[in-house]
Amino acid sequence: MGGYRRLVVPGRFQPLHRGHLATVEYALSLSEEVIVVIGSAQESFTLKNPLTAGERFEMLDIAFREFLGRDYRSRVLIVPVMDIAMNKVWVQYLKMLLPPFDGVVSGNELVRLLFEDIGLVALTPKFYNREKCSGTRIRELVIKGSPEWRECVPDAVVEYLSRVGFEERLRRLASGEG
């Protein structure tokens, strides 16, 4: 453990991929507890945010159980958080909603800027292969019908996504009007 009491790991998880798991593992190596924030919790059924926060919650639970162990909840909290229109108050908004935290682990510059802005810790995750496994690329592959996206996503998550009809939903959303 790296000395922190709690670190936040925010993400949209549309869907969860191996990069997210690596980030959570990295955060766990640095702190006693990790709060995984499911961001944009109000969004769903869009090309950028196909899954509901509830579905993402269940998906994370399944994946963490497999990758972090059956008792992962002893050290990881999952909290869906809706967007707030004001970046400048976003971290204070998280402080309102969550147990006390020391900082954030995120690959997103905006997120790190906002945590730094109020004097908190802002860390960049280590092993983060963004080109291959980003949510954007996964959703594009699904829409194109390419099965390649499954390489970025743990089997248990692929199975969960199949159960909720992730691929069909995304393709229907992409077909738009007609």
- Interacting residue ranges for a copy of itself, rule: CB under 8 A: 41-46, 52-54, 57-58, 61, 71, 73-74, 77-80, 82, 85-89, 92-93, 95-100, 107-110, 112-114, 117-118, 128, 130, 134, 169, 172-173, 175-178
Q: What is the DSSP letter of 118?
A: T
Nearer to a copy of itself, 30 or 89 (CB): 89
From the centroid of its chain, how far is CA 93? 18
Contact by Cβ (8 Å): 9, 35? yes
The dihedral of CA 25, 30, 35, 39: what is its sign? Answer: negative
Nearer to a copy of itself, 95 or 150 (CB): 95
Q: What does residue 11 show for φ and ψ, rounded to 5 degrees?
A: -165, 165
Q: What does residue 92 show for φ and ψ, rounded to 5 degrees?
A: -65, -35
Nearer to a copy of itself, 25 or 61 (CB): 61
Residue 171 C-beta: closest distance to a copy of itself, Å: 9
Q: Which helix (H) or strand (E) holds 172?
A: helix 166-175
Residue 147 C-beta: closest distance to a copy of itself, Å: 22
Residue 155 C-beta: closest distance to a copy of itself, Å: 20
Residue 21 C-beta: closest distance to a copy of itself, Å: 17
